[in-house]
Structure formats: structure tokens, C-alpha cells
A = this chain, B = another copy of it.
């Protein structure tokens, strides 16, 4: 039912030019706060960017930037010809339409296959970065500096949570860049995000605990959870992210929900503000935990990085996970988690029991790398680089396939998804393509349930923009090479 928009009143927003916070951020923060505190009601219209800019006596650019961000995060919605409105479904009136999937079996096999998309590198490999753009001189100088510094404290066992100086610089970064609420004492350094997923399962779950996972979702999360003996409940993901209403219908008493709200893996959806609040509300009411895997949110191309779900949490229900595998390089095996204060001791105890503490050298070097600004510079530089690679891939896919395929999740990260029409087997095509040196990760591997979509998760991190068109032509040949029948059915099929 469409509501008639109310007239837009000017919200009470003050901006300060002399503030360290940029204008667009001040505007964004003000709106977000008013929406969350219900001072702006669902369905309420907000002023046009032009009106607000005039009222505030500032240029229109920061207002457009703030509105774009609010739109991307789902706090506001745009209605053609009518204006911009606080999202109507925010937060309780939301009704899900998606059909729930059957529960998965508790003991699904772990990822043990040695299939080609796991191996080596090549065009479209997922998780591959532009290693040649890494500032290795600055990095190796720091590593060398710390390798030469011989002190008992740097050679000895350390705190299970990690090196203090490193945790402090990460806390600063997360508060500033990701709107995460944290103190250094809540941060645990881990051996990459997979380690964090595994540790969280140890602490939060017991055998037979019900756990929401995203469907489709991250294959290796299922592997980590399988070890705990928990019961996974695949909850469908739609265009707003995990369908919380469906989750409640499938298992309201779940112990935890594992989500990727900034850039859903693999589909690339950003979880809407409505869903975020609904998820937090459910967790708060039912005493459940939310594990937010924020694996690649540094790279966002169509709006500013999305604020973390953790930053919205007022009930300390969120465990936040981040990694340096996407921003620096994976063989560092360094990531971090932000743990609610009340759980820190339990996480530290499990860490001691499983591998005592993280290694020293990389922590010390990376603390300096961040402190001296190399990290922020590298992110800025590579964000432009990956944006160019992404655009080149999207353009090449459009040129080569037209409307034949659907492209999903290209707004962030270093991969996107293309879906295939029915009748195609993504595994078959991927096996064939591997012989040609293309590493296509079949989308179907991301599904825990029986209803799967066929397609590919295409990494674009390690492929130069100018090579993209040629690689996409190879992709097209690989797809069309798989039998005449499939070729015909593909040709005749439009966009799904």
C-alpha cells in the first residue's frame, strides 16, 4: 500500500564548517541519528538536496553525498517523481515475501575438494589482489626494522589477545572508518577471518545450537560451523540482505546469526537499515549473538563505506570480524575481531586453548604501517585501481553478454556475481574453463540447501583493466564450449 507522502519539513540539522568531520559526514550522521531515534518517522519525506543545501548555506555536493550514503544503506528511499523518504518498512512494519528454505543437515561435509577454483591464480580467481601495487618497500623496511629489534617481549609468548600497540591502532581505525564502537581491550588479533569464525563458533555455540547462516553464503563458514556440531539454518538473502522475518520463522530461538551486512557474500547485497535494526532487535530480545563478517568493506565504489552493523548495536550482541587479507595480502594471516566486553575473557580462554597467541613480527610491523599512514594511503590508491577494474569487467560483460546474464553485487569488494540461465551447470563450465586457465568459482557452491542458482563468482582484483575484455571473451568461449544444447538454451534465454 502506497502512502501519500507528507510534506517534507526541514530536519533540525546543524553543520559546523570548522569541525574536523567533513560536511557530508555531519549531515549523514544527523539523519541517521534522527531516523534511529524515531525523530524522523518511516514514510516521512526529507527535503530535496537543493533545499537542504540552501537552508544550510552550503554547496549541494556534501548533501548529495550524504543522501547517496543514506540511500545505499537503506535509511531512505527514492520514489520516482515524488522525492526522497525515510524508508517505510523501518523497522517493524517489514514483511518478508521470500519463501523459507528447508533446514540443512547438521553434518554437511566440510570443504575438502581439491577443485580447480580453489587452486592457484588466473583470471577471475576469487580473493586475488593487485599484489604488484602493494607498497612492499615501506612494508619490508618495517618488517626488517622489527626483525632486527631483539627484546624478550618481542620473542616471548604474548597476550592471547595480541599486541597492545597493534590493537590500539586497529581500534582507532575501526572507530573512524567503520563506525565500530570499541576499545582496544575488546580487540583480538586473529590469523585471518576464518580463524575468527572458528573461534566464535567455539565460544558461542554448542552441539545442536541452531545458527542462522546466509543462503547463499560463504562456503568456508559452513566448514567452520560444521566442526562445532551446530545445526545450521540457511536463511534466504534477498535484495535487502538476510531475510530476518524468514529467519525468525525458521528458528526464532537460534543462538547466533552469521551475516555479511556490508557486502553480502557472494551476492553483494548491502543489508538495509530496516533489516539491520530488525536483526539487532531479534538478537536483543532473544539473547542471540550476531557475528558480522566485514571482510571487504574497505572497497566500496558507489557510496562511502557502509557503517558497520556493530556500530548500531546498543545491546552488545555483535561480534565484529575484519581481515587484512583483502587490503594487504592473505599470506599475512592477520585479521581482528571486536568482542563485546562481557565475552572477552571467554574468547581469550579459547584462544589460549587452541593456539596460545598470535605471532609477533607482523603485528609489530603492521601497527607501524598503519600508524605511519601507509595503510590508509594504500586503501585510497587501490580503491581507485579496483574501481577501474570493476568498471572494465562490468563493461566487458555487458558488451559480450548483453542482457543474457545478470550482474550482482558489483558495488563493492573485489568480486561480482553473474548468474546463468536454467539448464547450465556452473560446475561443469568451471571445470572446463580451468583447463583454459580461467578460475571460475561456481555460485552453486555457496548454497547450503537444495535450491541453488547457477552462476559464477568472478574475482577482478588481480586482472588489469586493459586485459578484462580479452578475459571476458575467454569466459564467453568457455561457457559456450559446453555442448550444443546448452549453447542454444543460453542463446535463447534472456536476463533472469
Q: Is the CB of A136 within 8 A of B150?
A: yes
Residues of B with C-beta under 8 A to A190? 355
Q: Is the CB of A147 within 8 A of B156?
A: no
Nearest Cβ in chain B — how far from A343, in angstroms?
A: 13
Q: Is the CB of B349 within 8 A of A112?
A: yes
Asked if A352 meets B140 with Cβ closer than 8 Å, knowing A121-B152, A134-B155, A330-B155, the reply is no
Asked if A227 meets B353 with Cβ closer than 8 Å, knowing A147-B140, A154-B331, the reply is yes
Query: Which of B154, B198, B333, B354 sits near A359, CB closer than 8 Å?
Result: B333
Nearest Cβ in chain B — how far from A259, in angstroms?
A: 19
Nearest Cβ in chain B — how far from A307, in angstroms?
A: 28
Each complex incorporates copies of this chain amounting to: 2
Q: How many residues of A contact B (CB 8 A)?
A: 61
Residues of B with C-beta under 8 A to A362? 359, 361
Mask of A390-428 contacts with B, CB within 8 angstroms, 1/0: 000000000000000000000000000000000000000
Q: Is the CB of A355 within 8 A of B194?
A: yes
Query: Which of B155, B157, B207 sits near A131, CB closer than 8 Å?
Result: B155
Q: Is the CB of A198 within 8 A of B331?
A: no
Q: Is the CB of A156 within 8 A of B331?
A: yes
In the assembled complex, A345 has its CB within 8 A of some CB on chain B: yes
Interface residues of A in 58-97 (CB under 8 A from B): none
Tell me whether chain A's interface is mostly helix, strand or loop, or mixed: helix
Q: Is the CB of A110 within 8 A of B349?
A: yes
In the assembled complex, A388 has its CB within 8 A of some CB on chain B: no
Q: Is the CB of B155 within 8 A of A192?
A: no
Residues of B with C-beta under 8 A to A158? 331
Residues of B with C-beta under 8 A to A194? 352-356
Residue of A158, A207, A329, A333 ringed by the most chain B CB atoms within 10 A: A333
Interface residues of A in 172-200 (CB under 8 A from B): 190-192, 194-195, 198
Interface contacts beyond A136-B150, A195-B356: sample of 5 additional A-B pairs, CB < 8 Å, sorted by A: A147-B147, A154-B331, A156-B331, A191-B359, A224-B354
Top-10 shortest CB links A-B: A331-B360, A223-B353, A155-B329, A195-B355, A140-B147, A333-B359, A143-B147, A198-B354, A144-B144, A112-B349
